[in-house]
Structure formats: C-alpha cells, structure tokens
A and B are shown apart, each in its own frame.
Chain A
C-alpha cells in the first residue's frame, strides 16, 4: 500500500473507532460521533449567524496575512540587506519575538475592541515575525560563490540584487509566507476564541455551555478545514516556486 493510501486508511480507521467508541461508551452531552457531527455541519450551514462569524474570521485571516506579508517582506529586506539596520534592529526584533505574545491578547482586545481590528492586529503580531526572519535569512545566506561569480562577470550592485539575491531569496520568501500563514491562523483564532461576546468565540462558548457537542465539533471541523486548506495552498506555492532551486 502506498504511504498516502495508508495515511488515508489510518484517518478512516480513526473516524470509525471514534464513531464506534462514542456510540457504545460516550456521553452524548460531551462527545458526538462523526455521523452526528456531519449532520450538525448541515445545520450550521443553514445558520446565518454562524456562517457570518466564519466568513468574518476568513476575512480577518486574509487581511492579517496580507499585512504580515507586506510588513514582513519589507522589514526582512531592510534587515537582511543593510548591515546597519541589521545591527540596529535585529536584536530588538529577536527580543520582541521572544515575548510570549499570547499574554498581550487581553491588551490587544482592550486597545482595539472586540471587533475585527483586534483580531487582525493580533494575527499580524504573530505573522510578521516568521516572514521577516525567513526573508532576512534568505537574502543573507546566499552562497558567496554565486555573488563572487556574478561580480567576476561584471554585475553591478543592482544587477547582483535583481539577478542573484532576489531569485535566491524567492524560495525563502515563500517559506516565510507558509510559516507566516500558520502563525496568522494561530493569532486570529486565539483572538477569536478569546472574545466570547461575538464571532466564533461566542458560538464555541455557547455550544459548550449549552452542551451541544455536535455543533461545537462541527464548527471546529469547519475552521480546521479552512486552516488545512490555507496551509496546503501556501505549501503548494512554496513547492512550486522552489522547484528550480
């Protein structure tokens, strides 16, 4: 059996075990079998408020990801290409990166409110660092021989940047985007779950408190599916643009 088929079989077997286990031993107040989650999925699909919350989350993720990419690539190039800015900024960036950002979550909500802005801001605060670091490393860790040989062929500083450094950094740019996406998802979803008065967090809290595990499972499954898709998209882009390197 090919590894991919084996993986699928494992996932199917786990779902089957879950279904059987819950049917025979589970307390329906706390767990739901996959079959009931699937039914709940259809219910949720007809629930406008839930759909709106999920759609808003997607929008937040998109905006946060776009902002993280712009900021991360810009700062990454600045840090990676200039010795002075690197010396000045990099330690400060590392310091900020080492801060457990989740402790700032209440602050973000306090400052930006319970709406989209706080979630986008929190997502950006997560996404910008991995992109920045990967891009900076990508433009820096180019093999010296490539630069030397370009110089020997008479390349100007600008030509070296455009024809050597950027193409070399392209793959790290996409790697950074993939890591950034993972981080943005974490940031936005953390913020969504934290704010229990509105959005996805309202529904997860409500489903938990009113013992509707099938709906909670379904909502989590939808969000996980979105996350998996976005991650897969980024991985695909990364592989595609790394193909030649």
Chain B
C-alpha cells in the first residue's frame, strides 16, 4: 500500500509535468519528459560527458585528499589536549556555519577560473566535517578503554593506533563521508558560478543556450553521479566500520 502511494505520487508528478508541457508552460522552460529521456539516452550513447566528468572528478579527488589530510592531522593534534578541544572545536564549528561559498569569489581571484579555484572551494568545505568529526571521535573515546590500555602498559603510540583510532574510527569515517559529498556539491557550485569546464559548467552552458531538454538530461546525469558517489562511500563506510567492529 505504502509502495503504491509512493509510486502513485511519482507517476502523478510525471503526469503533471507532461500535462504542463502540453499546456501553457513554454517547452523552453520545461521540456516534456519524453524529450529529456531521449536526450539522456543520447548523452549516455555519445558519452560526450567524459571531458567534463574527468575535470570534476579530478577536482573532487584533489580537494578531498587535501581536506582529509589536513582535517585529520589538525583534528588529531587538537584532540590531544582537552584545552585545545575547548578552544578549537567551537572555532571550527563557528566557521563551518558561515556559508563558505562566499570565499569562492576570492578563490577565483587567487586561482583563476580553472580547476584551482574549485579544488580550493571543495577542500575548504570538506575540511570542516573531517576536522570536527576527528576531534569529536578522538576526544570522546570511552575513558575505560584508555584506562584499561594504560593498565596493560600501552605506550602513547600504541595507545593511539590500537585504542584511540579504532574507537574513534566510525565517527572519523562519517566525517570523511560528509566531507566528500559536501565537497562534491561545493565543486559543482563553483563550476556553476564561474568556470570553463566541469559538469556544473556544462549545465550552465546548456541553460544559457536555452537547450533545456539537454540541460535536464545533464542534471539527471549529475544526480546519477551523485547517487553512485553516495552509494560507493556508504559502502566503503560500512566496510570500514565492519573492519573495526
């Protein structure tokens, strides 16, 4: 029954969409679903998304690596002292709530319209969830584990690798996942605002040339990419979690 209602809802939306395109709404603004489907198939067949997809993925990987390294390094450094946690945790959390996209014009000024500004944007946004979760994860390890390990004579290095890190791992992993996804969105945003390549730029181009059916097809394509990314990361996270537990 629930399924039925859900499917009904989606079908209704599609129907409304189709009806709207038959009626008053200009096909320039809202192309019929069939046309979008056609364009989507063309897109997949010609595979002409490759150059832009490559650019976006390159930017994402670069941004994520920067954020993952700096974020986890700074996070584990901060978490070593509870005073530092009290100083930096609210600082990072406060900075995280400022819309970082405001920095994008500055990054364009510094790094130009190419991938550089997008990497900087993606890294900035991905940094915060990584650093915040690293701090949270490491500073909230159950004291009983630490006491037990110390009583068994663990050295500081052993303590970090055998106790702190495994105990904090799920939280850090979640931070990395959120970082990757929000970094992807930030890069898309950067490409949308000012760029000459990448998936976001592609959609803008099609919008500006009023090629809406193809634009929709590309939006669907980006959703697909986001979905694959999400699924891959969730899978990796589940694996990582199980490896620990």
Contact = CB atoms under 8 A, between A and B. Distances in A.
Nearest to A221: B102
A193 B109 contact: no
A196 B113 CA distance: 15
B219 A89 contact: no
A193 B101 contact: yes
A100 B223 contact: yes
A106 B2 CA distance: 34
Contacts of B105: 193, 204-205, 207-208, 216, 220
Interface string B199-233: 11001101110101001101100110011001000
Interface stretch (B45-53, B60-68, B158-166, B184-192): B184-192
A19 B201 CA distance: 35
A147 interface: no
Given A190-B193, A194-B193, A223-B102, A208 B2 contact: no
A224 B96 CA distance: 12
A10 interface: yes
A231 B200 CA distance: 28
A139 B228 CA distance: 32
Contact of B219 (A6, A84, A88, A104): A104
B240 interface: no
B99 A189 contact: yes
B130 interface: no
11 contacts: A3-B86, A3-B87, A7-B90, A92-B9, A99-B226, A105-B192, A107-B212, A185-B99, A190-B101, A193-B101, A227-B98
B222 A3 contact: no
B188 A10 contact: no
A152 interface: no
Contacts of A84: 5
A217 interface: yes
A185 B230 CA distance: 24
Contact of B222 (A10, A103, A208, A216): A103
Interface in A78-130: 84, 87-89, 91-92, 98-100, 102-107, 109-111
Nearest to A212: B109
Interface size on B, as a range, is: 35 or more
B102 A227 contact: yes
A98 B226 contact: yes
B155 to A, nearest CB: 30
Interface string A158-195: 00000000000000000000000010011001100110
Given A30-B109, A87-B1, A103-B199, 15 more contacts: A6-B87, A88-B5, A100-B185, A100-B222, A100-B223, A103-B222, A104-B219, A106-B207, A107-B212, A182-B99, A194-B193, A205-B194, A207-B105, A217-B106, A227-B97
A224 B87 contact: no
Interface in B170-204: 184-185, 188-189, 192-194, 199-200, 203-204
B194 to A, nearest CB: 8
B178 to A, nearest CB: 14
Contact of A89 (B9, B91, B207): B9
A131 to B, nearest CB: 16
Contacts of B87: 3, 6-7, 10
Contacts of A185: 99
A213 interface: yes
Interface in B79-128: 83, 86-87, 90-91, 94, 97-99, 101-106, 108-110
A231 B106 contact: no
B10 interface: yes
Contacts of B44: none
Nearest to A95: B10
A197 to B, nearest CB: 12
A189 B186 CA distance: 13
A149 B190 CA distance: 53
A182 B100 CA distance: 11
B98 A228 contact: yes
B106 A216 contact: yes
A186 B59 CA distance: 21
A126 B43 CA distance: 28
A106 B192 CA distance: 8
Nearest to A101: B185
A86 B5 CA distance: 11
A193 B195 CA distance: 13
B6 interface: yes
